[in-house]
Amino acid sequence: MAKSLAIVNCSQVVTVAGPARPRVGAELCELSVIKDGALLIRNQKIEQVGKRPVVEGLIDDACEIVDAGQRVVLPGFVDAHTHPVFAGTRAGEFEERSQGTTYQEIAARGGGIQSTVRATRGAPLGQLVTAGKRYANWFLRNGTTTVEAKSGYGLTLEDELKLLRAIKQLDQETPLRYVPTFLGAHDIPPEYKSQREHYVSLLIEEMLPRVVEEKLAESCDVFCEKRVFTVDESRKILSAARAHGLRLRMHADQLSLSGGAELAAELGAATADHLEHVDLKGIAALKSANVQPVLLPGSVYALGSNRYPPAREMIDAGLAIVLATDFNPGSSPTPSIPMALSIAATHMKVSPAEGITAATINAAYSLGRGGEIGSLEPGKTADFVIHDCEDYSEIPYFFGIEHPWRVYAGGELAFERERELATD
Ligand code: NIG
Ligand code: FE
């Protein structure tokens, strides 16, 4: 008989069920919560979600039953923007930034992304996978079951392939799902600083075809920014990627208004990410091409800036916002979607319900996975999390703690909280 699992006695099952498309406007608040709900899982898929008596009536003798103890069940978070494979840390730079040196000043003297590139080039694949497994655990224990994963700390053909192979290995060897993105255009490597057009050619003529041939990425991303890739260079790289059949994502208008949002719209990108400096014209362009903005409040917070992306204007314009962590060793060293939801609520006035939609179903659609993950509906993959609270709004409200009690990926237990002090 097929293996089955029932989760019963949930204070809320936050299904995020709804129309089979990214949610916009008032829909962002509609979480389709089932009070006193239950879930039935069979063969890694959700078979039934509903009120406890309905689901309990379907339970057979072979079914494993988990009593959620009046906790909340949510879909696993889908983190649609991460840089999860790199060597070393930048804790030293963090100390300097705490004393007032800026992220851009550190980058200008060859630190920042370049210091992670040096460390990553020197690291064998096995070392990157070992570090990546540590971070995979961090994602899981914060309730994330899928991450979009960018390369971008190699910046040579072989080193970019090494990063994408590490991502593939992490997908195979951990319960976390990885959706790979090629970000060879994360920075101009130092050896090409005086001949940047040669690096753009290398990206287009050698790196992209190899990445595609080896099926190592689903999307291509470019860091479009002053002193990094111009709008014209970004257009060339992304057009080539599109011709290879890759989906497009962009680091756009992060540190300055560079025209990134308009370019994302022109090219029909799936997402434009960051957008701290986007203007109303950029927002209108995103709307005209149905580009999803991916907002990354963790990086604004960690850079000590107060310039958050204009989420309310985006929601009012009808954009299907996504919230993600931007986990990386420089601008956003956090794997925690609950932390991103908390900062978004406090600084961007994104409500807990809107934030949960943005970090589940909308994020899944931005990765072309909206039919499989991101909500708890019959037929979908059983990626779900039992959070140790009674109401979903406590997840961003109590910030800086790990809420998950149990995390399931494809119906299998992927994380379980260790024994803790009895509370009675
Ligand atoms: O999304 N903006 C470019 N890339 C990352 C930062 C990467 C790093 O600092 O290592 C970002 O913020
Ligand atoms: Fe990023």
The half-sphere exposure of 83 on its side-chain side, counting CA atoms within 13 A, is 28
Mean pLDDT of 23-50: 97
Q: Which ligand is nearest to the CA of 224?
A: 1
Quote the pLDDT of residue 151.
Answer: 98
pLDDT 10s digits, 115-141: 999 999 999 999 999 999 999 999 999
Query: According to the model, what pLDDT value does residue 420 have?
Result: 82
Where does the pLDDT of residue 424 fall: very low under 50, low under 70, confident under 90, or very high at 90 and above? confident
- Binned at pLDDT 50, 70 and 90, residue 26 comes out as very high
Q: Which residues of 66-83 are buried (b: 16+ CB within 10 A; e: fewer)?
A: bebeebbbbbbbbbbbbb
Residue of minimum CA distance from atom 8 in ligand 1: 330
Distance CA 252, CA 387 (A): 33
Secondary structure (DSSP) of 74-113: EEPEEEEEE----SS--HHHHHHHHTT--HHHHHHTT-TH
Paired strand residues for 41: 5, 46
pLDDT of residue 2: 67
Contact 223 CB / ligand 1 (< 6 Å):
yes
Tokens of 410: 């494809």
| Gap between the Cα atoms of 228 and 138, Å rounded | 30
Closest residue by Cα to residue 237 from 289, 184, 193, 292: 184
Separation of CA 89 and ligand 1 centre (Å): 13
pLDDT of 382-392, one tens digit each?
A: 999 999 999 99
Is there an atom of ligand 1 within 6 Å of 328 CB? yes
Name the residue of 81, 82, 83, 250 whose CB sits within 8 Å of the most ligand 1 atoms, as the mutation to test its pocket: 83
Three-state SS at 255 = coil
pTM: 0.98
Q: Degrees (nearest 5) of the Cα angle 141, 216, 196?
A: 105
CB 417 within 8 A of CB 137: no
CB 224 within 8 A of CB 252: yes
pLDDT of residue 332: 98
Beta strands 219-223 and 177-185, pairing class: parallel
C-alpha neighbours within 13 Å on the C-beta side of residue 230: 6
What is the chain's Cα-based Rg?
Answer: 21
CA distance linking residue 148 with residue 131, whole number of Å: 17
What does the pLDDT look like over 341-366, one tens digit per residue? Answer: 999 999 999 999 999 999 999 999 99
- Assign 209 to helix, strand or coil: helix
Q: What backbone phi and psi angles, to 5 degrees, belong to 55?
A: -70, -40
Residues 6+ away with beta carbon under 8 Å from 117: 153, 154, 155, 187, 189
- In the predicted model, what is the mean pLDDT of the chain? 97
The atom of ligand 1 lying closest to the CA of 331 is 9
CA 360 to ligand 2 centroid distance, Å = 19
Hey, what amino acid is at 159?
Answer: D
Ligand at minimal distance from the CA of 249 is 2
* Inter-residue contact 409 to 41 (CB < 8 Å): no
* pLDDT score at 3: 84
Q: What is the C-alpha separation between 294 and 251, in angstroms, rounded?
A: 9
CA distance 144 to 409: 9
Q: Which atom of ligand 1 is nearest to the CA of 299?
A: 12
Cβ contacts of 281 within 8 Å, gap of 6 or more:
262
pLDDT digits (tens, 9 = 90+) for 206-249: 999 999 999 999 999 999 999 899 999 999 999 999 999 999 99
**Neighbouring-strand partners of residue 248:** 220
Ligand 1 center from residue 353 Cα (angstroms): 27
Reported as a pLDDT band with limits 50, 70 and 90, residue 1 is: low
Which tokens in the block code for residue 347?
């600084």
Closest atom of ligand 1 to CA, residue 273: 1
